[in-house]
Amino acid sequence: MSSFTKIDTKVVRDELRVSATVEEEGTGVSLSQTKRIEISYIIGKLAFVEPPKIYEQGTNLEGRVKAVHYNDTPIPHMPLYLFEGDVWSARSLQNLTTDTDGFATFSFSTDTFTGDIDLS
C-alpha cells in the first residue's frame, strides 16, 4: 500500500485491476475474468445517530454517537472527545467511550451553547 500512497495522486488512480485466467487440466478449456477493486483510505467512521433536529436553549441535549471500522463493524471501547465551537477555539464538552456495540451516549446543557458540536 505504501508504494501506491507515496506516488503523486494525479499519476495513479485509487483502484486495482486484477485479471486471472484459469485452464481446466486436460481439456484446454479456459476462463478469464477481470475485477476492479477501489482502494479506500477510510479506516473508520464516526457519526451522530438520530441527532435532535431542534433544541431549546437552557435544556439538556442528549444524543448518541456510533464508531465503526471501514467494514461497518462496531469499534468497542474507543475513546471519543465531544467538542463545541470552531476547530481552532473548541471547548471540550465530554470524554466518551463506546460500548461493545460501538455506541456512546452523551448529554450536555445548552445554557452556554454557542456553536457547532464536533467529534474526534
DSSP string, 13-50: -SEEEEEEEEE-TTT--EEEEEEEEE-----EEEEEES
Express each pLDDT in 23-68 by its tens digit: 998 898 999 999 998 887 888 999 999 888 877 788 888 889 999 9
**Cell numbers of 69, please?**
471500522
| Average pLDDT of the residues in 79-103 | 87
What does DSSP assign to residue 57?
Answer: T
Q: Indicate the pLDDT class of residue 10, thresholds 50, 70 and 90.
A: low
- Residue 69: the pLDDT is 93
In the predicted structure, residue 7 carries a pLDDT above the cut 60: no
Percent of the chain with pLDDT over 70: 86
Q: 2 CB contacts (<8 Å, ≥6 apart)?
A: none
Query: For the whole model, what pTM was predicted?
Result: 0.63
